[in-house]
Structures are given as structure tokens and as C-alpha cells.
Structure 1
């Protein structure tokens, strides 16, 4: 915990010195396993990109996943994404995606590989402009429990990941990089919480941009199958 606070202080000082600001990234996720093989996932996000205390972006999304094996989970999803500028609606996005998650454990360390392909349709109401985009993402997510051999109720864990984004037909093709580090706590069988620091680099033709987020999330896991096997707990990173 002292290390986590020290890192947060270091990043805050670095950001102030660089004349950049802290943004907010808040999420609520629900993972509902209604069948031994199938699960539903839903997520709501609220971000303050320009001002920490004023939300200027939100998204609502969800989808259906399939437990092909214990460590292999393909998923299909869709969502609505809205951005505000100067307190008025700037851009709307509708997105569908296919993803595949393959994870494995080495000792107590869990490695998650997530591959995703997204198709987006945009509309800007002020200019009545419409556009489309394809985007491809890869994330390596590493989780380590700190006071147990696996994540279960009462477990404190640390979580780090790196994610890269590639787009088409926009330029540059390598559009974004995200790096996250934080702590989580699995409260009980249904509720978990995570928090940490997220650095996001936007690569644009007009010039690159850094965003610095304080990430906070509440994760709800519901197992409706009454399965007596060892449970796994869903605690996604910033998405």
C-alpha cells in the first residue's frame, strides 16, 4: 500500500511538472454467468477527460461470452459512446466488436491475453458528419494476488497491463497505447473493487497527446449456475 501511494505521488508530481492534468475514469461492471458455458457482461463508464470533476464522456456496453475452455473465452459485444465538448454533445459512436481472451497461470501470477476487433460508426451532430472506423487491440494483463495463492473473497491483488491500438483507415495506424497499474480487493463472492493510475498516449497526425487517469471501478460477479467448482472473479481493466 505504501508503494502504491508513493507511485501515485510520483506520477502526480510528474504530471504537474509537465503541465498536464489528472482526468477521471470511473466504471461499473456486471458479469453474470447464467450457464456453465455462457455469461453476460455489461459495463457503464463515466470519464472527465478535460476536467476531473466534470464528466464529458460516457459509454454503455455489453455482450455475450462463451467459456470455450476454462482459459479461453470468446466474446461478442456492442455499445454506445458519447463525447461532450464545452458542455454540449460533440460526437456519438455505435460500436460492435469480437474478442478472444486466452489466459494462463504461472505459479500465482495470471497472464491474460486479449485480442479485439472493433467496427465503429460515428456521428457529429453539430456538423452532421458521419464516419466509420475499424480498430484492432491487444492487451497483456497481469494479476498477482498479494495475500493468497489465488483471488478469492478477502484477497488483495495488484494488476498491471499494457494495451496497444491500431486503426484503419485513419493515420497514423498505431493510434494509442495504454499502461495501467493499480490495486484491487475482492470483497466477497459478488463484489470487488479496483483503483489505480492509467497513462494513455494518443498518436495523432496533428501531434501526440498524453492523458492521465485515476481509475476507480466496482465489479459485480453473479454466478447463477450454482456451480460448486472453484470460482473465478472478473475484474477487468479500464476498457
Structure 2
């Protein structure tokens, strides 16, 4: 018996993120992704997204974003998506453990060139993300940390409503005041009327944090596989 079922395989999930704090209350966020869903070494999906967030308090960050998402099949564009979303992040801390609660509502517009088909979707997501620094009390320069999350996806008007579940576990390292790296394993379960599907991703990310506020206390964002 192999570790994965015969139809399962390892996929790639690579990301670069940028968080720019240009004001004590406001920040900009941008992210680019390449994924190899069907073949680890050949990207068949990319996304480019970004937005602006507001630090309502140090533990409460509403955000609005938009992005373009493109799927390829047999080296040809199969579906493109434009998405806008509203998000709220509420952090809770217990000792050195950080619990991030992320709520998101998304509106998507799809187009499939091969069939000239257009469609729309609403999706609602909740993620509980837990992070723990391993060699310090907080994440700072030189800190190694562990990170794990569980996320659920609900959609409308498609069926089934419970469309996806993601579970992630991995580690990160804050290299200096600007750069951090993460790697881990992401399991993704797709629930569909025609049959469920598992995806097994190896996640690699470079996170860039730029703080233009001259605040004496630096904070570091590591958004995780999104």
C-alpha cells in the first residue's frame, strides 16, 4: 500500500508575499502564486492579488482585496477568474501561542474560453491559524516558528455547499527585518457532486515585510498558504 492513493500525487504551491505598512493604521498587501496541481514541476495555475488593510486595533485587521486567478489544462488556458473579497482577522494570544481567526467573503466571476461559458460564485471562508515561536517569545529576526491551520470553504449557488477543507502544518524562519521563509505540507480536500478529490501540496513561500512607519516595535506578517 502506497502512502497516497493511486490517483493522488504531490503538487507544488509557491508564493511570494509583500506587506507594506505605510501608515500606523493602514497597510498594503500583494501576493503572487504559482502552483503545479497536476505535475509538481509544471505550473498550471497562477494568481496575482492584493489589497489594503486597516489596523482597527493591534489584534483586529479588516481588509479588502481583489485578484486574478488563472487555470491551465494541457498547456492551454482553461478558466480565468476575477475575485473581490472582504476579510476580517481577529488575533488572540495565550502565552507565546497566537490564534488567528480569519473570516472572508468572496465574489468571483469566471470565464472558460473553450466553451465561452461565464459564471459567478459567492464563497465564504473561515480559517483558524495557530503559530508558535520556537526559539523566542515573539517572532523577530532569527526566530524559527511552527504554524498550523484548518480552513473551511462554503459556496453558493453551487452544490455541495461545503466545498473544500484545507489542513496545513509547517515551519518558518524570520531571516532579518524584511525577509522570512516558510515551508510545509498542505492537504486540500475538494467536495464535488461527481466525486471528492484530494490534493497534497508542498508549500514554499518568501514573505517580505516593509515597515515605513518607524514604529519602535516591528511586527512580521506570514499569511500562509492561501
The equivalent of 1:159 in structure 2 is: 147
Paired residues for 1:216-231 under 5 Å: 216-228=204-216, 230-231=217-218
The one of 7, 14, 38 equivalent to 2:3 is 14
Partner Cα separation in structure 2 for residue 114 and residue 191 of structure 1: 23
1:37-60 deviation per Cα after TM superposition (whole angstroms, max 9, x unaligned):
000000000000000000000000
Which digits, 9 at most, give the CA deviation of each residue in 1:146-178, with x for residues without a partner?
A: 000110000000000000000000000000000
Name the residue aligned to 2:46. 58
Q: How does 1:71-220 map to 2 (within 5 A)?
A: 71-220=59-208
The whole-number CA distance in structure 1 between the counterparts of 2:141 and 2:101 is: 24
**Equivalents in 2 of 1:19, 1:82: separation in Å?**
23
Per-residue CA shift, 1:78-111, capped at 9, x if unaligned? 0000000011000000000000000011000000
Q: Which of 55, 58, 66 in structure 2 is aligned with 1:67?
A: 55
RMSD: 0.8
> Taking structure 1 as the reference length, what is the TM-score of the superposition?
0.93
* TM-score of the pair, normalised by structure 2: 0.98
Count of aligned residue pairs for this structure pair: 225
After TM superposition, give the deviation of residue 227 of structure 1 in Å. 1.0
Q: 2 CA distance for matches of 1:225 and 1:20?
A: 46
Q: State how far apart, in whole Å, the 1-side matches of 2:8 and 2:115 are.
A: 29
Please, which runs of 5 or more residues in structure 2 have no aligned partner?
none
For structure 1, the 5+ residue unaligned runs are 1-12
2:223 equivalent to 1:236: yes
Structure with greater helix percent: 1
Runs of 4+ in 1 over 6 A off after TM superposition: none
Cα distance between partner residues in 2 of 1:37 and 1:122: 34
